[in-house]
Amino acid sequence: MDCNTCNNKAVIKLQHGALCKNHFINYFEDKVFKTINKFQLIQRNDKICVATSGGKDSLTVLYLTKKYLQKYNYPNTEVFALAVDEGIKNYREKTLEDLKLFCKNQEIPLHIISNKEEFSTTLDEAYPKINKDTNKKPCNICGVWRRYLLNKHARKRGATKIITGHNLDDEAQVIIMNMFKANTSLAGRIGPKSGIEEHGSFVQRVKPLYFCPEKEVRLYTILKGWQIQFTECPYSHTGFRHDVQEMLNDMEQKYPGTKQGIINSFLSLMPLLKETEKGEPEMIKSCQSCSEPANQEICNACKMKEMMKN
Amino acid sequence: MNLTIINERKQSKEQIIFEGTTLKELLKDLKINPETIIVTRNDEILLENDNLNDNDIITILSVISGG
Judge whether A137 and A209 are in contact, CB under 8 Å. no
pLDDT tens digits for range A39-63: 999 998 899 999 998 889 999 999 9
Out of A10, A18, A215, name the one closest to residue B63 (CB). A215
Q: What is the DSSP letter of A297?
A: S
Residue A132: pLDDT band by 50, 70, 90 thresholds? confident
pLDDT tens digits for range A226-239: 877 777 788 877 77
pLDDT at site B27 = 97
pLDDT at site A1 = 85
Residue A201 CB burial class (10 angstroms; 0-12, 13-18, ≥19): middle
Judge whether B42 and B13 are in contact, CB under 8 Å. no
pLDDT at site A64 = 97
- pTM of the entire predicted model: 0.91
* Assembly ipTM: 0.94
pLDDT at site A220 = 97
pLDDT at site A201 = 83
Mean pLDDT of A253-266: 95
Contact A233 B38 (CB under 8 A): no
Query: Quick one: which of A62, A68, A53, A76 has its CA closest to A106?
Result: A62
Contacts with A206 (C-beta within 8 Å, 6 or more apart), sequence order: A39, A41, A42, A161, A162, A163, A164, A192, A193, A194
Out of A1, A18, A249, name the one closest to residue B33 (CB). A249
Judge whether B63 and A246 are in contact, CB under 8 Å. no
pLDDT tens digits for range A267-292: 998 888 777 766 555 677 888 998 88
Q: Min CA distance, A250 vs chain B (Å)?
A: 7
pLDDT at site A189 = 66
Question: Best mutation site among B35, B60, B61 for testing chain A: the one with the most A CBs within 10 Å?
Answer: B35
pLDDT tens digits for range A134-167: 888 888 888 899 999 999 999 999 999 999 999 9
Contact B9 A18 (CB under 8 A): no
Is the Cβ of B49 closer than 8 Å to some Cβ of chain A?
yes
- Across the A:B interface, residue pairs with CB atoms under 8 Å apart total 63
CA–CA distance, A36 with A42 (Å, rounded to integer): 7
Residue B54: pLDDT band by 50, 70, 90 thresholds? very high
